Each structure stands twice: as structure tokens, then as C-alpha cells.
Amino acid sequence: MSFLSLNNVSASYGSSQALFGVNLTLNEGEVMALMGRNGMGKSTTVRCICRMIPSSGSLTFASVDLSKLASHQASRLGIGLVPEGRRCFSGLSVYENLVAAARPGFWTFEKIVDLFPRLGERKQQIASSLSGGEQQMLAIGRALMTNPKLLILDEATEGLAPLIRDEIWNAIKQLKTETGLSILVIDKSVTELRSISDSAVILERGRDVWSGKMSELTSEITAKYVGV
Amino acid sequence: MISERYFNIAILALLIIVPTWAYFADEPFTITLMTRAAIFALAAVGLNLALGTGGLVSFGHAAFFGMGGYVMGILAHHAQTFTPVAEVPFLIEGTKSMPVIWLVSILLSAVLAWVIGFLSLRTSGVYFIMITLAFAQMMFFFSISWSEYGGEDGLSIYVRNSFPGLNTLDPIQFYILCLAILLIVLGAMARVVKSPFGLALNAARQSPQRVDAVGLNVKRLRLVAFIISGAITGLAGALFADLNRFVSPTMFSWQLSGEIMVFIIIGGVGRLFGPVVGALIFVALEHFLGGLSDFWHIYLGLLLLMIVLFGKGGIIGMICGREKSHG
């Protein structure tokens, strides 16, 4: 069953059009990779889904029309975003970052600490003083604390040390296997995306140029559109 | 650096020791000065939620201070003249009961804050500052033209309002009442800023977009904070009017809005006891330097300048170190 559906979605930044009729269908419990080179419209697509920028075309999530909603309403509907560049609440502690975003549901502070034990050790530490990897864990934890039905990870491992990156990928795999959360993931690591995703959509210059099951994604296609 | 907790305890001790000394030394004027400081502190505690935690630079909090003052003045005036406040659509009598006056002040200030906040929170930055200022100025000029309640001359209340079990005309008893209210509000504020609401408000000051992205309605958060803030400042206005037994349009003046902001900047923006420290210093300067020169505001200005230039965390920031959430 279609959980998140984008039909012919277009978006612009002022007079500069960034998306030209993007289509995407994500089913419940599925992990989908949104792939493409830099500047092809991946983050813009995410911003449209999260209603951070206006768009035309049809966007539905859990049978609700997203196009009329504000950003906070989309989040309340169950879309949790881990934004590019982490963007924690820098002046708040780890605990405060998580509590500020909390909504009732499966995910609690204790459950986040189970997923990322480092956050438990840094509970009272101010977010801006955390390492990049810890801030990323906090950003994921904060998104989970909203108890989303769909988790969107925008470049969640960008700029992190390999060990930390592994830790984060393991956590994402754990989310997939243990919670059955629907996930839309953007990342540069095709290897990791292949290992975790059920399906993929590739964007090229603001258009979806390939979509299908991950098992059908050949190295020729990734070489052509992703450059890997 | 001294721990902020110990510093706050020291300020609390000061709020108790000075009036106690004044009481035994038969210095009622000192008690009145401390009462004035406690009331100003209460007004600034209200603004501190909007300004310090929420980052809302309201230059119109005198609107709520004046609203509280005029609620007290009007209710007490009708009680002492034995005339009703209104007969249509239903009879509203005046009252000399402080709890009733406080309740009405809080409610009407909250309603006014809702109206002002609803309209002004659609803007930000300098426009927000100007709109809040404009609303306070509207209230100021309205009170000047309201001749029924004294117009420009204000309104005198002959006897201080009553509180069950206390002689409010006794300076120390009225001070204890004001201090108790200040401490209750400070206790509530300490909880509010650490509650999910307060944390989200603080986070929205740092980045409204990120707060929106986690499903919190930033406008609503700010409006609720503005309403709470206005209601507290309104309560302070009612107490201030009772302290002076007089209300006038100056309670709505932009200078007063600025002074409430100055208390917070001097004490420390976003610090729990920042407004208390600022109000104490302001009242002390006003009393000691005001006796020496009519131009004592120059010294206040110099102090403010020094703090803004060299100690952005205010007096508390200089003594206890900067608070991380205020950089």
C-alpha cells in the first residue's frame, strides 16, 4: 500500500526551478534510497515532503494531502526529519534536545539511549559541544522522539569518521529490522544504501530518471546517474 | 566564578535580610524601596520569559503593566466611591480585595497579550519591536484621554486594598506579600523554562525552522509565552498601583517598557534571577544617585553600556559565567 506518494511534484527557489515533476512511491515499512549527484534535487524533494518549501503537484502521506499543510503539521502527521548538517538545538543539552521534541509513543529517552548509548553518557552535555557523530546521533534521536511513521534521513553520515558512520548505519539497520519503520534515506554511500534499502529513486537535474527495486539497480545505472 | 545557584541564594538572602533590618531599625522607606524593587522584578520576570527564553524583544510590556495598574485603580475607585464599574449587560461592582483585583488583572492582561501577540507575532525583528511599542503607545494615549479615570492626572486610591489576614498598610506586611508572589512566580518560571514547552521555546529562539520541523508550532509556542509574560507583568502592575495607591498614564509609557527591559539586560537575559538583580540595582541607583542629581539616568546608561559592551551575560553572567544557551 502506498504510504508516501509524490506525483508530478515541482518546486522552485525564487525564479530558479529545482524540481520538474518528481514521482515517488514509498510503501509502509519500506526503506527507500533517494539517490543522485549533488544538486540534483534530493534535499529539495525532502523539503517539499516536510513542507519547508512550497511545491506544486500531488503529495500524499498516509492518505492525507500534504500540500496544504505547514511544516509542523507534516511532522505531527508522522514525518520525522533528520536534516542535512545535523542542526541540533545547540544551546540545549542532549536530554533537553530530546525532551523538547518528544511526543507520546514507542520512542522515549531510554529507548534512544538503548539505540545510541553515547547519548546516555552525554545526557547533560550541551549539544554544540558534542562531536559531529554524536550530534548526528542526537539528530536521529530527536527525530525518533517525535515518534514518526516515516523517518527521513538526509545525508545522515556525511562528514563522519568511518567508525561512527558504521555505528549510525547499524542503528538505521536496527530501526529497519526491529521497528519496521518506513525510511527514506539519502546518502552518498551506494554500498550502504544497497545493503539497507528495498527500493530506490534516482534524481537527475530535478527529475526522477530511475525508480525500482534495489535488486534491479545495476552498477551501470549508478555509474551513469550517481557517478559510482 | 561563583555557582549561579549560590548567587541566587545570596540574592534571596538580600531580599530577606535588608527589609528585616529595615523593620527592626524602623526604616519603613527602605522597605518601600525593596517592595518597589520586588514589583519591578516581577514585571521583568514576566518579560524575561518572552525576551530571555523566547527571544521576543517586546518594547511594549508597559501595556500589561498599565493594564494591571488600571484594573486595580478602576476596581478600587468604584469600591471607594460606591459606584458600579458597569451596569450593562450585567452589574459589575468595584472591589478592594487584592486577590480579586490580581485575578482580574491577570485575566485582562492575558487577553490584551493574546490580542497584541496574535497580531505582532506575525512579524519579527524590528517590526515586532515597533508593533509592540505601538500598542503600548495606543494604551498610553487612550488612558490620557480617559477623563472618567483622571485622564492625564491619573487616579488616586485613598486606602490600600486588602488581603485576608494581613494589614497591607503595614510596609513589611505588604512587602512580604509582594516577595511571596515574586518567589512563587520565580519558582513557576524555573519549572516552565525546563519543561518541554520552555525547552521548545528556547530552541525556537535559536532556530524556529528546526522547531517547526519537529512538529512544534512556533507561532503558538511564542503566543503562549507572550500571554504568560503579559499576565505576569499585569500582576506586577496591579501591585505597583497598590504600592503607590495611584495609577497614571505613565504606567503605559514607552520609558517604562524600556526600563523593564533594562532590568533584564543589567541582571542577565534569560537568567532566572536576572530581573531581580536588575530591578534591585535600578532601584538602588534611582534612590542613591537620584538624591544627588536629576540626571542619574546618565549613570544608569553608563552601567548599561558597560554591561552590553563587556558583559553580555549581565551582572549574573559576569559573576557566574555565561549561560550556554545564550552564548
What is B4-326's CATH number? 1.10.3470
Q: For residue A32, list its beta bridge partners.
A: A184, A199
Is the peptide bond preceding residue A104 cis, with omega within 30 degrees of 0? no
Q: How far is A54 from chain B (nearest CA, A)?
A: 14
Closest residue, chain B, to A99 (C-alpha): B196
Mean pLDDT, range B136-143, rounded to an integer? 97
A198 is a domain residue:
yes
pLDDT at A228: 72
Q: B218 — contact with chain A (CB < 8 Å)?
A: yes
Q: A52 — contact with chain B (CB < 8 Å)?
A: yes
Q: What angle do CA B129, B133, B136 make, to 5 degrees?
A: 145
Q: What is the pLDDT of residues B91-119, one digit of tens each?
A: 999 999 999 999 999 999 999 999 999 99
Q: A95 — contact with chain B (CB < 8 Å)?
A: no
Q: What are the residue ranges of helices labelled H in A51-157?
A: 71-77, 94-101, 109-115, 117-121, 132-145
Q: How far is A228 from chain B (nearest CA, A)?
A: 32
A210 is a domain residue:
yes
How many domains does chain A fold into?
1
Closest residue, chain B, to A48 (C-alpha): B213
pLDDT at B206: 87
For the beta carbon of residue A165, count every other beta carbon within 10 angstroms: 19
Q: B321 — contact with chain A (CB < 8 Å)?
A: no
Rounded distance between C-alpha atoms, residue B318 and residue A203, angstroms: 53
Rounded distance between C-alpha atoms, residue A148 and residue A155, angstroms: 18
DSSP string, B257-307: HHHHHHHHHHH-TT-TTHHHHHHHHHHHHHHHTTTT-TTTHHHHHHHHHHH
- Confidence band for B326, pLDDT divided at 50, 70 and 90: low
B192-200 LR contacts (CB < 8 Å, sep 24+): B192/B49, B192/B228, B193/B49, B193/B53, B193/B272, B194/A96, B196/A99, B196/A100, B196/A102, B197/B221, B197/B224, B198/B53, B199/A89, B199/A92, B199/A96, B199/A99, B199/A100, B200/A100, B200/A101
Look at phi and psi of residue B258 and say left if phi exceeds 0, alpha if psi is from -120 to 50, else beta.
alpha
pLDDT at B310: 85
Domain map of chain B by residue range?
4-326
pLDDT at B325: 63
> Residues near B184 by Cβ (< 8 Å), separated by ≥ 6?
none
A79-82 and A150-154 strand pairing: parallel
Interface of A with B in 153-172 (CB under 8 A): none
- Confidence band for B324, pLDDT divided at 50, 70 and 90: low
DSSP string, A183-219: EEEE-S-HHHHHHH-SEEEEEETTEEEEEEEGGG--H
Q: A99 — contact with chain B (CB < 8 Å)?
A: yes
A19 is a domain residue:
yes
Q: How far is A48 from chain B (nearest CA, A)?
A: 12
A115 is a domain residue:
no
Residue B256 φ/ψ, nearest 5 degrees: -65, -40
Q: What is the pLDDT of residues B173-217, one digit of tens each?
A: 999 999 999 999 999 999 999 999 999 999 999 888 889 888 899
Higher-confidence position of B151 and A160? B151
Instruction: Tell me which residue of B92, B46, B41 sits closest to B243, measured CA to CA.
Output: B41
Mean pLDDT, range B273-278, rounded to an integer? 97
Q: B203 — contact with chain A (CB < 8 Å)?
A: yes
Rounded distance between C-alpha atoms, residue A177 and residue B155, angstroms: 72
Average pLDDT over chain B reads: 94
User: Is residue B87 helix, strand or coil?
Assistant: coil
The residue segments making up the domain with residue A185 are: 1-78+150-159+181-228
- Which helix (DSSP H) or strand (DSSP E) does residue A182 occupy? strand A182-186
Q: How far is B312 from chain A (nearest CA, A)?
A: 16
Q: B172 — contact with chain A (CB < 8 Å)?
A: no
Instruction: Tell me which residue of B287, B294, B284, B293 sits closest to B315, measured CA to CA.
Output: B284
User: Which letter does DSSP use for residue B55 in this model?
Assistant: -
Rounded distance between C-alpha atoms, residue A213 and residue A209, angstroms: 14
Best of A61, A66, A71 to substitute, by most chain B Cβ atoms within 10 angstroms, is A71
The CATH number covering residue A41 comes to: 3.40.50.300
pLDDT at B239: 98
Q: B210 — contact with chain A (CB < 8 Å)?
A: yes
Residue A26 φ/ψ, nearest 5 degrees: -115, 130
Task: Please answer yes or no on whether A142 and B200 come within 8 Å at the CB atom.
Answer: no
pLDDT at A1: 62
Closest residue, chain A, to B208 (C-alpha): A89
- Which helix (DSSP H) or strand (DSSP E) does residue B137 occupy? helix B125-145
A17 is a domain residue:
yes
* pLDDT mean for each 10 residues of chain A (228 residues): 90 93 94 94 95 94 93 94 85 92 92 93 92 92 94 89 90 89 92 93 94 92 85
Q: B206 — contact with chain A (CB < 8 Å)?
A: yes
- Confidence band for B246, pLDDT divided at 50, 70 and 90: very high
Task: Please answer yes or no on whether B199 and A99 come within 8 Å at the CB atom.
Answer: yes
CB A33 within 8 A of CB A193: yes
Q: How many A/B residue pairs have CB atoms within 8 Å?
A: 77
Q: What angle do CA A192, A195, A197 make, to 5 degrees?
A: 95
